[in-house]
Amino acid sequence: MNAERRAAGRGGTGVISDRRAEYLEEKARLIRRRVIEMTAAAGSGHPGGSLSSADIIAALYFHVMRIDPGNPGWEDRDRFVLSKGHAAPALYAALAERGFFDPSELVTLRRTGSRLQGHPDCRKLPGIEASAGSLGQGLSLANGIALAGRLRGKSYRVFVLLGDGECQEGQVWEAAMSAAHWKLGNLAAFVDCNGLQIDGPVEEVMSLKSPAEKFRAFGWNVLEIDGHDARQIVEAVEAAGRAKGVPTVAVAHTVKGRGVSFMENQVDWHGKAPSPEQAERALRELGEGRSLR
């Protein structure tokens, strides 16, 4: 296994150090900066849910997952499925920073002919494991990838990120039942519970009551975490690895628009790009970082 792969793979066990937590927080901040720059350049996109999921994606791509950007098709790699596909800007930012493609390409988000479509397309961009767009399908895809790995005797793990509004889709619960039935212990899900969806508060649009209780009723190992705490995210992954023969879900409590004061907990920023002036303000709040330009 080469040095690059070792640097990103599995991250050891136990509580991460302060230095490592700060490193992951910095990566999440960089992802957030790039989400703002990308959506502002495109004039469209979904900043709110991209910002809320940045810490989870940073922890997975820069500490947890065993991947090799130089060999995206490596059979033993860990897999990540972005079920809430509208958060593609956060995923693209992580992939670029990990070396799957040049970061200069990020500003082509949503342009005609760009490999960076509004939702991930596994046929266009290295590192994308599954195309996404229609909500509710990612957990089913992850189930199939996890089951295939077990049948082939592979040790890879499968991670999937869903949104709380997305969990209103019935297919999510069919997939949850299936994962528990097939005892997919190599599967770990995160639910980005930021409380808002395009039509308003999740509780008003179609209340989930308690996602944790629902997954528990379907036979999952269930954790509840602060989705902006790198330590808790990594600890959830470690706990999932210890839960043999059962899928694990971490219900991650997050803030829509995290890191940008005027976007936080504001439903309008689910699918609206910042203006140049708003982007400049947001980037000031997110601190210094490398420009995409």
Q: Are residues 264 and 257 in contact, defined by beta-carbon separation less than 8 angstroms? A: yes
| pLDDT at residue 291, as a whole number | 45
Q: What is the CATH number of the domain that holds 159?
A: 3.40.50.970
Q: Are residues 202 and 164 in contact, defined by beta-carbon separation less than 8 angstroms? A: yes
Residue carrying the six token digits 């709110």: 48
The distance from CA 47 to its chain's CA centroid, rounded to whole angstroms, is: 13
> Is residue 292 included in any domain, yes or no?
no
Structural domain boundaries, residue 249: 3-285
Domain count, the chain: 1
> Is residue 7 included in any domain, yes or no?
yes
135, HSE (Cβ side, Cα atoms, 13 Å): 14
| pLDDT at residue 15, as a whole number | 80
State the 10-residue block means of pLDDT for the chain, 293 residues long: 39 74 98 98 98 98 98 97 98 98 98 96 96 96 98 97 98 98 98 97 96 98 98 98 96 98 98 98 84 43
| pLDDT at residue 292, as a whole number | 45
| pLDDT at residue 14, as a whole number | 55
The distance from CA 155 to its chain's CA centroid, rounded to whole angstroms, is: 21
> Measured between alpha carbons, how far is 113 from 135 in angstroms, rounded to an integer?
24
| pLDDT at residue 11, as a whole number | 41
> Is residue 293 included in any domain, yes or no?
no
> Is residue 290 included in any domain, yes or no?
no
Nearest residue to 94 (alpha-carbon basis) of 137, 64, 123 = 64
Q: Are residues 29 and 259 in contact, defined by beta-carbon separation less than 8 angstroms? A: yes
| pLDDT at residue 4, as a whole number | 36
> Is residue 92 included in any domain, yes or no?
yes
Neighbouring residues of 70: CB distance < 8 A, sequence distance ≥ 6: 2, 4, 99
> Is residue 213 included in any domain, yes or no?
yes
Strand stretches in 96-235, DSSP E: 158-163, 187-193, 196-197, 200-201, 221-226
> Is residue 291 included in any domain, yes or no?
no
A 10 A CB-CB count for 237 gives 23
Q: Are strands 248-253 and 187-193 parallel, antiparallel or unpaired?
A: parallel
pTM over 0.85: yes
> Is residue 256 included in any domain, yes or no?
yes
| pLDDT at residue 289, as a whole number | 53
Tokens of 115: 């490999």
